[in-house]
Amino acid sequence: MLMPKKVKYRKTHRGDQIKGKATQKATLSFGNFGLKSLEAGWITSRQIEAARRAITGHLQRRGKVWIRIFPDKSISVKGNEIRMGGGKGSVDHYVAPIKPGTVMFEMDGVTLELAREALKLAAHKMPVKTIIVVKPNL
């Protein structure tokens, strides 16, 4: 699973509201096909890995896949039935905060039909609504 090797601060604030549209990672940069988010949300490293496995399994070693998002925000959890106080809980997992319009996955080197099927499988693993985008010159 994806997680940062080293961080400046181990535990981060939640920052509940993800405001605005994506300005970075908003267009296709590497491949001809991509999976773009339509909603804001948190994507866990497990969800990213599940989508990557769905894509690579369907492509069967054809084409190339780029993961454009990285989970670098730590989520801490306190155990069940723990009383109030005692500080912030320990780091449980990492998430990637996603704004609407973020391209999460890109691929190239395959046909349009195969890319659509693979990205559709990946979209089922995501907790946000997505759309499949294609470069305009195709």
Q: What would the pLDDT profile of 74-98 be if each residue is shown by its tens digit?
A: 999 999 999 999 999 999 999 999 9
Q: How confident is the model at residue 16 (pLDDT cuts 50, 70, 90)?
A: confident
pTM: 0.94
Bridge partners of 76? 91
Summarised one tens digit per residue, pLDDT across range 22-48 is: 999 999 999 999 999 999 999 999 999
C-beta of residue 37 within 8 angstroms of C-beta of residue 102: yes
Q: The tokens of 77 are what?
A: 């959890």
3-state secondary structure 36-69: EECCCEEEEHHHHHHHHHHHHHHHCCCCEEEECC
Summarised one tens digit per residue, pLDDT across range 107-128 is: 999 999 999 999 999 999 999 9
Side chain identity, residue 45: S
For the beta sheet containing 130-134, the strands, ordered from the edge strand earlier in sequence to the opposite edge, are 64-67, 103-108, 33-37, 130-134
CATH topology of domain 42-77+90-134: Aldehyde Oxidoreductase; domain 3 (3.90.1170)
